[in-house]
Structure 1
């Protein structure tokens, strides 16, 4: 029922209207069955106490006058007056509740290795595609956090600045390939420097850098340890993930279609030291499931505090039924003073 509907409209008595009401004092509604009982009791007492006059008439003199039923009208009006007063006392209302969630958010920079060794197939379908998938899943689980993306091989390249446009971020992740950067190698230090540069002007209370790599630092013009210390100077926490197995790992096929194996090495010591300097944590992921668990754990560690604000807008409608009750009461007083109350009772 719209708030602007005039009080004298009969729509206020439609069952759908009452279904949509909240009641401030619903216990008052239990008085509704008492009204007909009260009127029944009054009728029984009146019937026993009223004086009766025996009159002898012939059957042909007995006639029924339709106007005689009007004597019940004042009582009926008073009956509805009490019902309306009880409804008004129960205070029907409608409440529109709004819930707003907000958070200051966290700035997160994903730094992903796209060097040639990320094509190794000890992950399904390979290391890079597995990393891209868990990154997309990680982004999906965030709420109002700004997330950026840096990729690196022999050099580092910023794919996306810090943003809350997760659709754009996922689109950028989908375009990541091994051919984005021509220079070969693994420039871990340069990648950390580019990620730090993207985050250094951030005024967020929490800044996180997640570095994912499968090799040694073999390129770039900045040492990884120096880059980690620079990042920590800007209050950036660093998580490092060493992806892949060491030793013989599958890498494509030979001329005859047989699986080719290559030797893979990984500088776990440097990644551990980077995480220690960045006051984060080091992880080792050797398959898809392990990599997913790593990102799930980081997701739990770096949860922003979500604050909820509730707004309640309550509109009362008891005045509608109070006006109806007053109208019925005035009508009852009018009828009580009319001929209807003086019609000879049978």
Structure 2
């Protein structure tokens, strides 16, 4: 690993491709000057060859031979070019930045109350009301971020399937394997009991916001607590209640007869109770008649009940231009030394 200490500036690792790729360049535009520097060196060489004084010497061609010392003439110019290149790299200001982002939110506690009564088998949703509700609940949970979510199922009785948790994988498992029509023996729709069980789960919560989402397709026909009373109790604990009534009015498909033909039953729902529950709970009432409408409602609730996510960013920037500046000074000093030594003098003679 490349040592980033400026005290190891003399390491050749600073000139490897991996080193240059790791940098952020504060003034990258400086590199556009490199072609200009090359052009200036070429012009200097061309002009020098034209105007430099020449002394004609008559020698037979066989007596003229190249000597290795002739190549020493390029050393001063090479050192000067390297010094300029190092200066340009330093001016481009190579940096490395370590950024840490810390996010947090006050969080929301959400209780999903799902009706599993027999009427949830009606097939005006695909494949039926309960399976549509389960799929939408999974999508809703997947869209949350560190909110605690609990599950309550109800039919003739209400049952807390999962406490408030951020273990979303556990919630998915409960939805897939535990929510079905046979989970509760007693038949009916105990809406009041479901709200009471949800309230009991959330009453000691100190979350910034507490939300209950009640999904059902019927009227309250069971349980030992009135839904309005249960809603008032939830409101006393500052729990907001959204109520969703699923199902179409009129004839709806419900199973098949002996010959495989679709059976139809008459479906009616008194919305007044659910509207009143939402009003008491300072939430909203929704009526949905298909899968898409149900998904849209959960999307709206998801948008309404977003916790404010706060973040703090920490930046630690280290400059590495001193490394290339030191190399530039070194090359420049070497250039000055060679300019005053036999190397330059020999080649000028």
TM-score (norm 1): 0.90
Aligned partner of residue 32 in structure 1, secondary structure: helix
In structure 1, what is the equivalent of residue 155 of structure 2? 153
Matches within 5 A, 1:41-190: 41-43=43-45, 51-59=53-61, 61-174=63-176, 175-190=178-193
Q: How far apart in 1 are the matches of 2:40 and 2:242?
A: 77
Contact kept, 8 Å, 1:26 with 1:90, in 2: the verdict is yes
Please give the secondary structure, in 1, of the residue aligned with 2:303. helix
**Equivalent pair of 2:255/2:263 in contact (CA under 8 Å):** yes
SS in 1 for 2:124: coil
The alpha-carbon distance between structure 1 residues 252 and 344, as it changes in their structure 2 partners (threshold 3 A), is closer
What is the distance in 1 between the residues matched to 2:166 and 2:36? 60
- What is the DSSP-based 3-state SS (H/G/I as helix, E as strand, rest coil) of the residue aligned with 1:343? helix
Number of the residue aligned with 2:199? 196
Corresponding position of 1:299: 302
SS at match of 2:198: helix
Please give the per-residue CA displacement for 1:307-332, whole angstroms capped at 9, x wherever unaligned.
34434333322222223223322322
Q: Which runs of 5+ in 2 are unaligned?
A: none
Q: C-alpha separation between the residues in 2 aligned to 1:312 and 1:3?
A: 20
Q: How many angstroms does 1:284 deviate by?
A: 0.9
- Aligned pairs for 1:13-52 (under 5 A) are 13-43=15-45, 51-52=53-54
- Point out the more displaced range, 244-253 or 176-185: 244-253
Counterpart CA distance in 2 for 1:212 and 1:96 is: 47
**Alpha-carbon distance, 1:211 to partner:** 0.5
Superposed displacement of residue 152, structure 1:
0.8
Q: Aligned pair 1:238/2:241, yes or no?
A: yes
Q: CA 1:344 to 1:147, structure 2 compared with 1: closer, same or farther past 3 Å?
A: closer
| 3-state SS, counterpart of residue 28 of structure 1 | helix
Q: What TM-score comes out, normalization by structure 2 length?
A: 0.89
Q: Per-residue deviation at 1:43?
A: 4.3
CA contact (8 A) 1:216 1:265 kept: no
Counterpart Cα distance in 2 of 1:23 and 1:316: 10
Aligned counterpart in structure 2 of residue 321 of structure 1, from 308, 324, 328 = 324
Q: Residue 2 of structure 2 corresponds to which residue in structure 1?
A: 2
Please state how far the C-alpha of 1:344 moved relative to its aligned partner.
4.6
- C-alpha change, 1:34 and 1:292, in structure 2 (3 Å) is closer
Measure how far apart 1:60 and its partner are: 5.4
Query: Which segment drifts farther, 283-292 or 270-279?
Result: 283-292
Cα distance in 2 for residues equivalent to 1:204 and 1:88: 52
- Residues 122 and 30 of structure 1: is their aligned pair in 2 closer, same or farther, counting only changes over 3 Å? closer
Partner of 1:278: 281
Query: Which is worse superposed, 4-13 or 300-309?
Result: 4-13
Q: Partner residue of 1:224?
A: 227
Any stretches of 5+ residues in structure 1 without a counterpart? none
Aligned residues: 346
